[in-house]
Structure 1
Amino acid sequence: MLQLEGVLTDKGSKYAVSGGVVRTRAEVDAFLKQLKRAKKYAKATHNTYAVLLADGGLKGDDGESGAGMVILRMLEREGLTDHIVVVTRWYGGVKLGGDRFRHVQTCVRAYLDGLG
């Protein structure tokens, strides 16, 4: 698992990104469960994710409408399969509007760069 914390902060909201290799829906569920074992991630406002598996893409917005699709499209463009990417947000009290999608992209890009 690769975890990057403190990727960015905007108007009090803080972002982190995590990911790792998964090959089945069960492994996706296990990855998310493992991530949320850390109290910090369990208490996050949103843990949005996407993954491209052999039988198609999966995504979850966790209340951050549209964020899972942003991640999924970036994974499709990169051709990164069997790899989950989770963008975590701790809400800071101020709505970010469309900036939140740019922040999701920034987090995914940081993760992809971290993979080397």
Structure 2
Amino acid sequence: MTELTRLGVVLTDRGSKYAVSGASVASRDDIDAVLRALKADKLYAKATHNTWAAVLPTGALKADDGEAGAAMVILRMMQRAGLENHVIIVTRWYGGKKLGGDRFRRVQDATRAYLDRLGATA
């Protein structure tokens, strides 16, 4: 596992804040270590959702963390970009107003910001 990269809050929508983080990983144990490192920061530990996806040689893994369907959005973008051996985590702090389908667009926007930082395209 390489060092966790945090881009911090990349966008807000109706009070909800979205941040994106990620790291190179080679196994499920690495993913768990990245998630522990992220949640060691109390701000991230108290987030409403830490949705993530990863593509490993053994297959794809993902977890919505209560944000139903959001991990699949991250996973599809990673697969289109050809990004493997990596985990991307989109963190949301709920702002009090439901976003409906826009929440998926915000997850896409956050994931795109991370992919852009890596120089990958989805």
Same fold by TM (over 0.5)? Answer: yes
Shift of 1:6: 1.9
1:36-73 CA distance string (max 9 Å, x none): 00000000000000000001000000000000000000
> How well do the aligned residues superpose, as a CA RMSD in angstroms?
0.6
Aligned to 1:22: 25
Aligned to 2:105: 102
State how far apart, in whole Å, the 2-side matches of 1:103 and 1:30 are.
26
State how far apart, in whole Å, the 2-side matches of 1:45 and 1:85 are.
17
State how far apart, in whole Å, the 2-side matches of 1:48 and 1:6 are.
14
Q: Does 1:48 align with 2:48?
A: no
State how far apart, in whole Å, the 1-side matches of 2:84 and 2:8 are.
23
Could you tell me which amino acid in structure 2 is paired with residue 6 of structure 1? V
Could you tell me which amino acid in structure 2 is paired with residue 60 of structure 1? A
Q: Does 1:66 align with 2:87?
A: no
Could you tell me which amino acid in structure 2 is paired with residue 3 of structure 1? R
Q: Give the gaps of 5 or more residues in structure 2.
A: none
SS in 2 for 1:104: helix
Aligned to 1:32: 35
State how far apart, in whole Å, the 1-side matches of 2:58 and 2:41 are.
30
State how far apart, in whole Å, the 2-side matches of 1:15 and 1:5 are.
8
Could you tell me which amino acid in structure 2 is paired with residue 81 of structure 1? E
Could you tell me which amino acid in structure 1 is paired with residue 15 of structure 2? G
**Given the two structures, how large is their TM-score scaled by the length of structure 2?**
0.93
SS in 1 for 2:10: strand
Runs of at least 4 residues of structure 1 off by over 2 A?
none
Could you tell me which amino acid in structure 2 is paired with residue 95 of structure 1? K
- Say how many residue pairs are matched: 116
Percent identity, aligned pairs only?
A: 64
